Amino acid sequence: MNRPGESTHFGFRDVTLGEKQGLVNDVFHSVASRYDLMNDLMSGGLHRTWKTIMVNTLNPPRNERAFALLDVAGGTGDIAFRAAQASGTGFRATVCDINGDMLGVGRERAAKRRLDDRVSFVEGNAEALAFPDRSFDGYTIAFGIRNVPRIDLALKEAYRVLKPSGRFLCLEFSAVDVPGLDRLYDLFSFRVIPELGRVVTGDAESYRYLVESIRKFPKPAAFADMVRAGGFSRVNWQTLSGGIVALHSGWRL
């Protein structure tokens, strides 16, 4: 576990914990308006399939039964919208993100989809959530936890705000496990993605960081141990698309 003043990683750079949060904020301020377009370009549209699998795994009720979802680091609303459209009238989602620009994009998208009565947006920090204990039936975080400076604190907060029998789901980039694909993936990641970032958003450096941060994230088994240390039970994961991403699951029992 990191302590204040200790170093962590910002991509391949060693920085202090405090510096990482500011640098991550700068990245997402820079790319917010084109974030979803870049996701399509970087993944060839596969991120949509991965997110659909995540929501299907969450399996929110399709009737009037109440279900409260907290989607963390999901500022543009992608997971919350998918979950709302897959659920019944008792579903409500709260999107919590530390970046106001990303939340602004999400609010606009919610209004256009006429989902602003079912999906709300709150600025907040995954390491110190401003919600009461046992408030939510589900907690999701997609491609966001690797950007949290103190992942152990975020996992403990996820456990705290979930109700008993609540489910934690984390979709995150992982380690490619198909021979040959790993080399192609590295070539695409380090050569193509930063150039796409430069052309589409005018910011190659932010996307170079995002690629580097993927490589520094723990392998699935190591991250599963972190989820267990956060208090969760029945922890498991499944890899998708040859290990490009992994969907992690845990329960508060």
Q: How far apart are CA 182 and CA 197, in angstroms?
A: 21
**pLDDT (tens digit per residue) in 72-131:** 999 889 999 999 999 999 999 999 999 888 899 899 999 999 999 999 999 999 999 999
- Find the helix or strand (DSSP H, E) in which 104 lies: helix 100-113
Q: What average pLDDT does this structure show over 197-223?
A: 83
- Residue 52, pLDDT score: 96
Residues 6 or more apart from 38 whose CB is under 8 A from it? 31, 196, 197, 200, 201, 207
Q: Which two tokens stand for residue 177?
A: 């496990």
**pLDDT (tens digit per residue) in 13-29:** 554 555 555 555 665 65
Q: What average pLDDT does this structure show over 204-218?
A: 82
Asked if the model's pLDDT at residue 162 lies above 90, the reply is yes
Local structure of 92: helix, strand or coil? strand
Domains and CATH numbers, the chain: 7-252 (3.40.50.150)
- Residue 20, pLDDT score: 54
Q: Which two tokens stand for residue 237?
A: 């994961």
Percent of the chain scored above 70 by pLDDT? 86
pTM given for the model = 0.85
Local structure of 129: helix, strand or coil? coil
Alpha carbon distances (Å) from 185 to 50, 69, 194? 17, 33, 13
**pLDDT (tens digit per residue) in 171-186:** 998 988 888 888 888 8
- Find the helix or strand (DSSP H, E) in which 123 lies: strand 119-123
- Residue 8, pLDDT score: 54
Please say whether the beta carbons of 24 and 14 come within 8 A. no
Q: How far apart are CA 135 and CA 115, in angstroms?
A: 21
Q: What is the DSSP letter of 191?
A: I
Cβ count near 30 (within 10 Å): 18
Q: Which two tokens stand for residue 101?
A: 């620009």
Angle value at C-alpha 107, between 102 and 112, nearest 5 degrees:
125
Local structure of 238: helix, strand or coil? strand
Q: Which two tokens stand for residue 222?
A: 């190591």
Asked if the model's pLDDT at residue 57 lies above 70, the reply is yes
Cβ count near 211 (within 10 Å): 21
Q: How far apart are CA 244 and CA 253, in angstroms?
A: 30
Q: How far apart are CA 39 and CA 31, in angstroms?
A: 11
**pLDDT (tens digit per residue) in 226-249:** 999 999 999 999 999 999 999 999
